[in-house]
Structure 1
Amino acid sequence: MTPQELAEASARTMWNDDSASQRLGMSLDHIAPGEATLSMTITDAMSNGHGNCHGGYIFTLADSAFAFACNSYNQLVVAQHCSITYLLPVHIGDRLTGAAREGAPRGRSGIYDMRITKPGGAHVAEFRGHSRTVKGTHLPVEA
């Protein structure tokens, strides 16, 4: 299996069990080794007291992109630490895109950066995730 095929197969396996991302209406738009792009349309149910998108939903989109990117090597990987900086408000009806890229893999740890944008490419948030590989794989390992 090529690295791309492995990333796609791992993502399919994860997606099948990811009810949170699915129920929020996310779509998995791109997967490759160490990268993933997901998108989601902001609904009324995701609004805060200011009438904008609640930051937790932006964080969740970034976290999902992070998860698919760092799990693209058929290893079980979890978040060890995450942080987000919000740059612009997001409005109801906006379609957000979260693009994750691997930055610094080191042994069982890694650092991934996610850029969250809205239509037209406006950069609304920056998310950094630190990953940790744990025991197990998504797919059976060939002998």
Structure 2
Amino acid sequence: MKPLAEMTPQELAEACARIMWEDDNASQALGMELVHIAPGEADMRMTVTKTMTNGHGNMHGGYLFALADSAFAFACNTYNQMTVAQHCAITYVKPGALGDVLTAHAREVSKEGRSGIYDISLTREDGTVIAEFRGHSRTVNRTFLTE
């Protein structure tokens, strides 16, 4: 691996994502894929399985929240500063359905000091938005990589 001081912002984001993914048992167990990473950005994809549906036959909101939260986590941890969620909110627009392939598109809105704000849109493959999520992040005193 290239020395930390010589990494581009993209290389740093990719290195942090690799380290996070190794220990992200929850996202892996739910069948999520990290399909894009860049500084302050991440896209996660997941297929709705039968175990993710509720009594109405729709995707359970908790699984949708988990997908958004995972994309949020990867987006805000792209700067080699470990970051956690401080506050999150989700608005459900349309239900997810069995077999849907959903993507959570996370992007940084603001990053100042130890705080950040990230918006995550959850869409079907046809681009239909089914939920919007906003996450507020807070950095902690730890890094992924050291010199």
- Report the TM range for the smaller structure's normalisation: over 0.9
Q: What residue number does 2:81 align with? A: 75
TM-score under structure 2 length normalisation: 0.95
- Distance across 2 between alignment mates of 1:21 and 1:139: 22
Please point out which of 51, 62, 83 is paired with 2:57.
Answer: 51
Structure 2 residue 116 is the aligned partner of structure 1 residue 90: no
Unaligned runs of 5+ in 2: 1-6
Q: Secondary structure at the match of 1:120?
A: coil
Please point out which of 128, 134, 137 is paired with 1:128.
Answer: 134
Q: Secondary structure at the match of 2:69?
A: helix
Q: What residue number does 1:100 align with? A: 106
Runs of 4+ in 1 over 4 A off after TM superposition: none
Cα deviation 1:57-116 (Å, max 9, x = unaligned): 000000000000000001100000000000001100000000000001111000000000
Please point out which of 5, 30, 41 is paired with 2:36.
Answer: 30
Residue identity over aligned pairs, in percent, reads 67
Unaligned runs of 5+ in 1: none
- Distance across 2 between alignment mates of 1:82 and 1:62: 10
Q: What residue number does 2:12 align with? A: 6
* TM-superposed deviation, 1:52: 0.5
Q: What residue number does 2:4 align with? A: none
- Distance across 2 between alignment mates of 1:2 and 1:137: 17
Equivalent residue pairs, number: 141
Measured on the aligned residues, the alpha-carbon RMSD in Å equals 0.4
- Distance across 1 between alignment mates of 2:132 and 2:32: 18
